[in-house]
Amino acid sequence: DVKVTQSSRYLVKRTGEKVFLECVQDMDHENMFWYRQDPGLGLRLIYFSYDVKMKEKGDIPEGYSVSREKKERFSLILESASTNQTSMYLCASSSQGAMDYGYTFGSGTRLTVV
Amino acid sequence: AQSVTQLDSHVSVSEGTPVLLRCNYSSSYSPSLFWYVQHPNKGLQLLLKYTSAATLVKGINGFEAEFKKSETSFHLTKPSAHMSDAAEYFCVVSDGQGAQKLVFGQGTRLTINP
């Protein structure tokens, strides 16, 4: 069964901490994405990557960075966590033919910043 | 830029009655459109997708959606609701460019009454 795995289901961090959210996919997909999900706002794209070491800003990149050193792994970094970054974070991956095969999402990481 | 608007934030129906979840889209290109479902504490699952083939698209669990270009709509329907359909539903458009980012609607929470 193909998978996108997010390393943590729940995280609690303090304001100002540097936070790493990890995502691994086993489908050899070229594209990987980080979204955050907030009630009433749907999912909003933070960053995406279409190849190793390549990254592009999404709609809400402020306060975040990403790293993609290997094809299967895409990390989201909160440089200095703030309470307004409390949210559900979802990772997804897709092949270049995504319109035929769709996206595969991880189960999400619920981050609370206190 | 692509966008979707889900016209209802919450829909409540009785078990066995029809379901209608409404979605309008805006796109500069020929869009690819999707419906995803998210059950409580679960990841996102693809229900169905439209990619410029037949305008009536059938998905899993008895759901279907009709692409109407003249109305820029992609409403999701099901003839008879089941209790297991209670979930949040997202209408999604792809910009069809490059890494093919997904743009999500705000979500519609579907409640099924016994």
Residue B66, strand partner residues? B56, B75
Query: Which residues of chain B are under the pLDDT cut of 50?
Result: none
Within 8 A of B101 by CB-CB distance, chain A residues are 33, 45, 48, 58
Which residue on chain A is closest to B89 by alpha carbon? Answer: A42
Q: Please give the pLDDT value at position A101.
A: 56
Q: What is the DSSP letter of A99?
A: H
* Shortest distance, CA A16 to any CA of chain B (angstroms): 28
Q: With an 8 Å Cβ cutoff, are B100 and A99 in contact?
A: yes
Q: How many CB pairs under 8 A join A and B?
A: 57
Instruction: Decide: residue A71, CB within 10 A, 0-12 exposed, 13-18 middle, 19+ buried.
Output: middle
Q: Tell me the torsion sign for CA atoms A20, A24, A29, A34.
A: negative
CA separation for the pair B88, B19 (Å, rounded):
13
Listed residue (A111, A76, A109) closest to A5, CA to CA: A109
Query: Which among B43, B51, B107 is the nearest to A105, CB-wise?
Result: B43
Tokens coding B69: 């270009």
Q: Please give the pLDDT value at position B28.
A: 75
- B39 contact A CB<8A: no
Q: With an 8 Å Cβ cutoff, are B105 and A42 in contact?
A: yes
Mutate to test the interface with B, among A36, A43, A59, A105 (most CBs of B within 10 A): A43
Residue A100, pLDDT above cutoff 80: no
Q: End-to-end CA distance of chain B: give it in Å, rounded.
A: 41
A36-67 pLDDT tens trace? 999 888 899 999 998 898 999 999 999 999 99
Report how far Cα A68 is from the mean position of its chain's Cα atoms. Answer: 11
Q: Please give the pLDDT value at position B98.
A: 59
Which residue on chain B is closest to A58 by alpha carbon? Answer: B101
The two beta strands, A109-113 and A10-13, are parallel
B63-75 pLDDT tens trace? 999 999 999 999 9
Q: Please give the pLDDT value at position A68.
A: 97
CA separation for the pair A83, A37 (Å, rounded):
15
